[in-house]
A and B are shown apart, each in its own frame.
Chain A
Amino acid sequence: QLEESGGGLVQPGGSLRLSCTASGFTFSEHAVSWVRQAPGKGPEWLSYFSSSRSTIYADSVKGRFTITRDNAKNSLFLQMNSLRAEDTAVYYCARDISSLAFDVWGQGTQVTVSS
Protein backbone atom coordinates (compact mmCIF):
# COMPACT_ATOMS: atom_id res chain seq x y z
CA GLN A 1 0.00 0.00 0.00
CA LEU A 2 0.89 3.67 -0.24
CA GLU A 3 0.37 6.42 2.30
CA GLU A 4 0.77 10.15 1.61
CA SER A 5 1.48 12.87 4.12
CA GLY A 6 2.57 16.48 4.20
CA GLY A 7 -0.47 18.25 2.80
CA GLY A 8 -1.97 21.35 4.34
CA LEU A 9 -2.82 25.01 3.90
CA VAL A 10 -0.16 27.20 2.30
CA GLN A 11 -0.15 30.76 0.99
CA PRO A 12 0.30 31.52 -2.71
CA GLY A 13 3.99 31.49 -3.56
CA GLY A 14 4.74 29.14 -0.71
CA SER A 15 6.23 25.67 -0.63
CA LEU A 16 5.21 22.26 0.59
CA ARG A 17 6.83 18.83 0.56
CA LEU A 18 4.65 15.76 0.18
CA SER A 19 5.79 12.31 1.22
CA CYS A 20 4.55 8.88 0.18
CA THR A 21 5.58 5.76 2.06
CA ALA A 22 5.23 2.35 0.46
CA SER A 23 4.74 -1.00 2.11
CA GLY A 24 3.88 -4.52 1.06
CA PHE A 25 5.88 -4.55 -2.15
CA THR A 26 9.44 -4.00 -3.35
CA PHE A 27 9.33 -0.26 -3.83
CA SER A 28 12.64 -0.01 -5.70
CA GLU A 29 11.39 -2.27 -8.49
CA HIS A 30 8.45 -0.07 -9.44
CA ALA A 31 7.83 3.22 -11.18
CA VAL A 32 5.69 5.63 -9.19
CA SER A 33 3.80 8.79 -10.03
CA TRP A 34 2.06 11.72 -8.43
CA VAL A 35 -1.50 12.44 -9.54
CA ARG A 36 -3.75 15.21 -8.26
CA GLN A 37 -7.45 15.90 -8.39
CA ALA A 38 -8.93 19.35 -7.96
CA PRO A 39 -12.41 19.67 -6.47
CA GLY A 40 -15.03 18.48 -8.96
CA LYS A 41 -12.40 17.71 -11.61
CA GLY A 42 -10.86 14.59 -13.03
CA PRO A 43 -7.43 13.27 -12.12
CA GLU A 44 -4.37 15.07 -13.48
CA TRP A 45 -1.05 13.27 -13.89
CA LEU A 46 1.82 15.36 -12.54
CA SER A 47 5.09 13.50 -12.43
CA TYR A 48 6.71 10.10 -12.86
CA PHE A 49 9.80 8.47 -11.37
CA SER A 50 10.91 5.22 -12.96
CA SER A 51 12.68 2.34 -11.27
CA SER A 52 15.73 3.29 -13.33
CA ARG A 53 15.60 6.81 -11.87
CA SER A 54 14.34 8.79 -14.85
CA THR A 55 11.78 11.50 -14.19
CA ILE A 56 9.07 13.24 -16.23
CA TYR A 57 6.85 16.20 -15.39
CA ALA A 58 3.62 17.66 -16.67
CA ASP A 59 4.01 21.13 -18.16
CA SER A 60 1.71 22.52 -15.47
CA VAL A 61 4.28 21.80 -12.74
CA LYS A 62 7.58 21.68 -14.62
CA GLY A 63 10.13 23.95 -13.00
CA ARG A 64 8.05 24.32 -9.82
CA PHE A 65 7.70 20.73 -8.57
CA THR A 66 10.46 18.18 -8.04
CA ILE A 67 9.93 14.47 -7.63
CA THR A 68 12.47 12.41 -5.71
CA ARG A 69 12.57 8.96 -4.19
CA ASP A 70 14.54 7.20 -1.45
CA ASN A 71 14.41 3.47 -2.10
CA ALA A 72 16.16 2.71 1.20
CA LYS A 73 13.23 4.32 2.99
CA ASN A 74 10.56 3.08 0.56
CA SER A 75 9.56 6.68 0.04
CA LEU A 76 8.56 9.05 -2.71
CA PHE A 77 8.54 12.82 -2.36
CA LEU A 78 7.13 15.82 -4.17
CA GLN A 79 8.71 19.19 -3.44
CA MET A 80 6.24 21.87 -4.50
CA ASN A 81 7.44 25.47 -4.83
CA SER A 82 5.81 28.66 -6.07
CA LEU A 83 2.40 27.27 -5.26
CA ARG A 84 -0.67 28.80 -6.90
CA ALA A 85 -4.36 28.72 -6.10
CA GLU A 86 -4.87 26.33 -9.02
CA ASP A 87 -2.60 23.79 -7.31
CA THR A 88 -5.33 23.23 -4.72
CA ALA A 89 -6.23 19.56 -4.95
CA VAL A 90 -5.99 16.15 -3.36
CA TYR A 91 -2.57 14.73 -4.18
CA TYR A 92 -2.12 11.01 -4.65
CA CYS A 93 0.93 8.86 -5.12
CA ALA A 94 0.41 5.75 -7.21
CA ARG A 95 2.32 2.71 -8.37
CA ASP A 96 2.70 2.64 -12.14
CA ILE A 97 2.63 -0.81 -13.77
CA SER A 98 2.27 0.34 -17.38
CA SER A 99 1.25 3.34 -19.45
CA LEU A 100 -0.77 5.43 -16.97
CA ALA A 101 -1.83 2.17 -15.28
CA PHE A 102 -1.81 2.88 -11.55
CA ASP A 103 -2.71 -0.26 -9.63
CA VAL A 104 -1.98 0.93 -6.10
CA TRP A 105 -3.00 4.36 -4.81
CA GLY A 106 -2.60 6.15 -1.53
CA GLN A 107 -5.53 7.68 0.28
CA GLY A 108 -4.51 11.16 -0.85
CA THR A 109 -3.42 14.29 0.99
CA GLN A 110 -5.19 17.64 0.66
CA VAL A 111 -3.22 20.67 -0.45
CA THR A 112 -4.94 24.03 -0.23
CA VAL A 113 -3.27 27.16 -1.59
CA SER A 114 -5.00 30.24 -0.25
CA SER A 115 -4.24 33.50 1.50
Chain B
Amino acid sequence: QSVLTQPPSVSAAPGQKVTISCSGSASNIGSHFVSWYQQLPGTAPKLLIYDNYNRPSGIPDRFSGSKSGTSATLGITGLQTGDEADYYCATWDGSLSAGVFGGGTKLTVL
Protein backbone atom coordinates (compact mmCIF):
# COMPACT_ATOMS: atom_id res chain seq x y z
CA GLN B 1 0.00 0.00 0.00
CA SER B 2 1.68 3.19 -1.19
CA VAL B 3 1.48 6.49 0.68
CA LEU B 4 0.74 8.10 -2.70
CA THR B 5 -2.68 7.20 -4.06
CA GLN B 6 -3.37 7.00 -7.79
CA PRO B 7 -6.43 5.70 -9.61
CA PRO B 8 -5.76 2.17 -10.88
CA SER B 9 -6.88 3.00 -14.39
CA VAL B 10 -8.04 5.80 -16.66
CA SER B 11 -9.16 5.76 -20.26
CA ALA B 12 -9.94 8.17 -23.05
CA ALA B 13 -10.23 8.27 -26.80
CA PRO B 14 -7.42 9.23 -29.17
CA GLY B 15 -7.04 12.99 -29.42
CA GLN B 16 -8.75 13.59 -26.10
CA LYS B 17 -7.28 14.79 -22.80
CA VAL B 18 -6.82 12.79 -19.62
CA THR B 19 -5.67 13.65 -16.12
CA ILE B 20 -4.12 11.33 -13.56
CA SER B 21 -4.21 12.29 -9.91
CA CYS B 22 -1.73 11.54 -7.15
CA SER B 23 -2.87 12.13 -3.59
CA GLY B 24 -0.48 12.28 -0.68
CA SER B 25 0.04 14.13 2.56
CA ALA B 26 1.86 17.06 4.09
CA SER B 27 5.00 14.99 4.62
CA ASN B 28 5.38 14.08 0.97
CA ILE B 29 3.59 15.97 -1.80
CA GLY B 30 2.78 18.83 0.55
CA SER B 31 6.43 19.64 1.13
CA HIS B 32 8.45 18.12 -1.72
CA PHE B 33 8.66 18.22 -5.50
CA VAL B 34 6.71 15.64 -7.49
CA SER B 35 7.91 13.67 -10.50
CA TRP B 36 5.91 11.66 -13.03
CA TYR B 37 6.98 8.61 -15.01
CA GLN B 38 5.69 6.67 -17.98
CA GLN B 39 6.47 2.98 -18.18
CA LEU B 40 5.91 0.85 -21.24
CA PRO B 41 5.91 -2.96 -20.80
CA GLY B 42 9.36 -4.42 -20.34
CA THR B 43 11.13 -1.08 -20.17
CA ALA B 44 12.50 1.18 -17.46
CA PRO B 45 10.34 4.09 -16.30
CA LYS B 46 10.78 7.28 -18.30
CA LEU B 47 10.79 10.67 -16.61
CA LEU B 48 7.99 12.90 -17.94
CA ILE B 49 7.75 15.65 -15.33
CA TYR B 50 10.04 16.74 -12.50
CA ASP B 51 9.85 19.45 -9.86
CA ASN B 52 6.05 19.45 -10.17
CA TYR B 53 5.75 20.82 -13.70
CA ASN B 54 9.09 20.80 -15.52
CA ARG B 55 9.59 18.63 -18.61
CA PRO B 56 12.95 17.08 -19.41
CA SER B 57 14.35 17.75 -22.84
CA GLY B 58 12.53 15.71 -25.47
CA ILE B 59 9.23 15.37 -23.62
CA PRO B 60 6.46 16.95 -25.69
CA ASP B 61 4.31 19.69 -24.21
CA ARG B 62 1.30 17.38 -24.47
CA PHE B 63 2.44 16.27 -21.02
CA SER B 64 1.97 18.68 -18.12
CA GLY B 65 2.20 18.56 -14.36
CA SER B 66 0.68 20.55 -11.54
CA LYS B 67 0.53 20.46 -7.76
CA SER B 68 -1.87 21.88 -5.23
CA GLY B 69 -1.51 21.24 -1.53
CA THR B 70 -1.09 17.52 -1.00
CA SER B 71 -2.15 16.44 -4.49
CA ALA B 72 -0.50 16.43 -7.88
CA THR B 73 -1.89 15.92 -11.35
CA LEU B 74 -0.45 14.72 -14.64
CA GLY B 75 -2.24 15.92 -17.75
CA ILE B 76 -1.92 14.43 -21.20
CA THR B 77 -3.54 16.11 -24.21
CA GLY B 78 -3.89 14.90 -27.79
CA LEU B 79 -3.86 11.27 -26.66
CA GLN B 80 -2.13 8.80 -28.93
CA THR B 81 -2.21 5.01 -28.89
CA GLY B 82 1.47 5.12 -28.05
CA ASP B 83 0.59 6.80 -24.75
CA GLU B 84 -0.91 3.54 -23.47
CA ALA B 85 1.31 2.75 -20.51
CA ASP B 86 1.54 2.73 -16.75
CA TYR B 87 2.07 6.12 -15.11
CA TYR B 88 3.62 6.69 -11.70
CA CYS B 89 4.02 9.72 -9.47
CA ALA B 90 6.96 9.94 -7.08
CA THR B 91 8.29 12.22 -4.39
CA TRP B 92 10.26 12.31 -1.18
CA ASP B 93 8.52 11.63 2.14
CA GLY B 94 10.02 13.56 5.02
CA SER B 95 8.33 11.47 7.69
CA LEU B 96 9.57 8.20 6.22
CA SER B 97 12.91 9.71 5.15
CA ALA B 98 12.47 7.76 1.97
CA GLY B 99 11.50 8.13 -1.64
CA VAL B 100 8.01 6.95 -2.49
CA PHE B 101 6.21 6.02 -5.69
CA GLY B 102 2.48 5.94 -6.27
CA GLY B 103 0.75 2.64 -6.98
CA GLY B 104 0.51 3.43 -10.67
CA THR B 105 -2.25 4.19 -13.15
CA LYS B 106 -2.82 2.21 -16.32
CA LEU B 107 -3.82 4.45 -19.20
CA THR B 108 -5.92 2.93 -21.95
CA VAL B 109 -6.42 4.86 -25.17
CA LEU B 110 -9.66 3.48 -26.55
Contacts and interface: CB of A to CB of B under 8 A. Distances in A.
A105 B45 contact: yes
Interface residues of A, number: 23
A52 interface: no
Contacts, number: 72
Chain B binding surface, main DSSP class: strand
Contacts of A92: 44
Interface string B26-59: 0000001111010100001111001100001000
B91 interface: yes
Chain B interface residue number, banded: 20 to 34
B68 interface: no
A94 B56 CA distance: 15
A99 B92 contact: yes
B50 A45 contact: no
Given A99-B35, A100-B99, A101-B50, A107 B44 contact: yes
A44 B1 CA distance: 12
A102 B46 CA distance: 8
A101 B99 contact: no
Contacts of B33: 98-101
Contacts of A97: 50
B45 A100 contact: no
Interface in B80-110: 86, 88, 90-92, 96-104
A99 B32 CA distance: 7
Interface of A: 33, 35, 42-45, 48, 56, 58-59, 92, 94, 97-103, 105-108
Interface of B: 2, 32-35, 37, 39, 44-47, 50-51, 56, 86, 88, 90-92, 96-104
